[in-house]
Amino acid sequence: MKLKNNQIGVLIVIILIGGIYIAKGFDLWVTESDKIPVKLSEGIGAGSYDPFDIRGSYSFEEISDVFEMDITLLAEAFQLGDVEEAKGIKSKDLESLYGELEDDIEIGNESVQVFVAIMKELDISGSDAMLPVSAVQVLLAENPNRSEEVLTYLESHQVEAYSNGAIPEIEAQTDSEGLKVNGNTTFSQVIDFGVSKQEIEAIIGGKMPPENQSVRSYCTENGLSFSEVKEALNTLIMP
């Protein structure tokens, strides 16, 4: 059996395009991470999505969809302009939008996590992220009868900060995230950040996992809270 060049060309295109089409039919064609946080396994709100698993790469539209929150509230809280503009902005973009604030205060992904947690009336203990006054106003306007713990938090963690309105240029993930543990970080990176294997073992309460495994996937597999492990590791990385 002989093949001609034009038959080869057609065969290549058919196999590739057809293969992708079939893979799509079986839901095997996935080109990006699903923007779905892990669910809380215990405590207040068990079974609901964990706001502290919101990653910097989530857009405000995705956050609004997953947590079933009106995007106008998010846009108003973080001064993101109109709704259409807010949809495409990513949580990590807040750092650029707000720029450098006094006393090393930062408005970023963690601010969004806390905001969503309070909106959904979930546990915020252990959080220390700052919120712009506009976000605090939205939270109080939505529910003036917040718990004493939340009111104290809002009182001590609000800052007069204003978005500069400029949607930031694309940045390399490693640059924008800095030396921080995020949803993609592997244990080999944590070691590269200067955390020893013993320290990792102490935090996860078990033997050192394979270095090529991501922290997030290990936590999910072993029923650990990713946000708590992440927080503990970040404390060691940035004392």
Return the number of the residue (20 or 238) whose C-beta is nearest other proteins: 20
130 phi/psi in degrees, rounded to 5: -90, 155
Q: Provide, rounded to whole angstroms, the least separation between the CB of residue 214 and other proteins.
A: 6
Our CB check for other proteins shows the closer of 158 and 217 to be 217
- Cα(198)–Cα(229) distance, integer angstroms: 14
Question: Nearer to other proteins by C-beta: 8 or 44?
Answer: 8
Least gap, CB of 8 to other proteins (angstroms)? 6
Of 8 and 141, CB closest to other proteins:
8
Which residue shows structure tokens 């503009």? 85
Least Å distance, CB 92 to other proteins, is 11
Q: Which is nearer to other proteins, 6 or 125 (CB)?
A: 6
How far apart are CB 86 and other proteins at their closest, in Å?
Answer: 10
Is residue 99 within 8 A of residue 69, CB to CB? The reply is no
Report the interface residues with other proteins, using CB under 8 A: 1-6, 8-9, 11-13, 15-16, 19-20, 23, 28-33, 85, 88-89, 167, 169-172, 184, 186-189, 209-214, 217, 221
- Unique residue bearing structure tokens 């089409």: 21
Burial 218-229 (b: 16+ CB within 10 A, else e): bbeeeebbbbeb
Query: Interior CA angle at 96 toward 238 and 158, to 5°?
Result: 70
Tell me the β-bridge partners of 158: 131
Q: Residue 109 Cβ, how far from other proteins at the closest point, in Å?
A: 16
